[in-house]
Amino acid sequence: MDDDDRIADVDDVPADGTLLFTARDGFDETEVVLTRLDDERDRDDEGVVAWKNYCQHWTDVRLDKGSGATMRDGELLCEKHGATFRASDGECTHGPCEGATLDEVDVTVEDGGVYLADDRFGFDSVGPAADVDLSTGARIDFSGN
């Protein structure tokens, strides 16, 4: 793999949260979240998956706002309206977008590193995009805050 596509060490990807990174498609930025799956899963990517960082109900709502998405029982939680998405396949199991699926971004694990393997994007940086965060505001949320 090309070092330009290296996102992070596998050990930096949490199993109970997410690691946020930014990918580029030309001038457009796309936020992506990485998470690790349970060890019992049999996947070629050593249990690391990547999803575009937005809820399928309201695509202006980010799952990870920069400090890790909330996870509960192997599912990503949208804190705005309580939708839950299975980390293993991205399917919404509860909430207003039940049955919808998060958009997957291809990654691979090699020599202890996680690499962007999706031909649609180039790796930009770890962390949020420079775009304005549209997911903040006065809408009701389920964060407990």
CATH of the domain at 79: 2.102.10.10
- 84 to each of 117, 131, 133, how far by Cα in Å? 26, 25, 21
Strand spans (E) along 78-143:
84-86, 92-94, 107-110, 113-116, 122-126
pTM value > 0.85: no
Q: Which two tokens stand for residue 12?
A: 């930096």
Q: Which two tokens stand for residue 93?
A: 């199991």
Residue 78 in any domain: the answer is yes
What does the pLDDT read at residue 4? 86
Tens digits of per-residue pLDDT, 90-140?
999 999 999 999 999 999 999 999 999 999 999 999 998 876 444 444 445
Residue 75 in any domain: the answer is yes
- 11 to each of 8, 19, 37, 68, 103, how far by Cα in Å? 8, 11, 13, 15, 24
Q: Which residue has the tokens 């998956």?
A: 49
Residue 1, pLDDT above cutoff 90: no
How many independent structural domains does the chain possess? 1
Query: What is the domain range of residue 14?
Result: 3-122
What does the pLDDT read at residue 84? 95
Residue 37, pLDDT above cutoff 70: yes
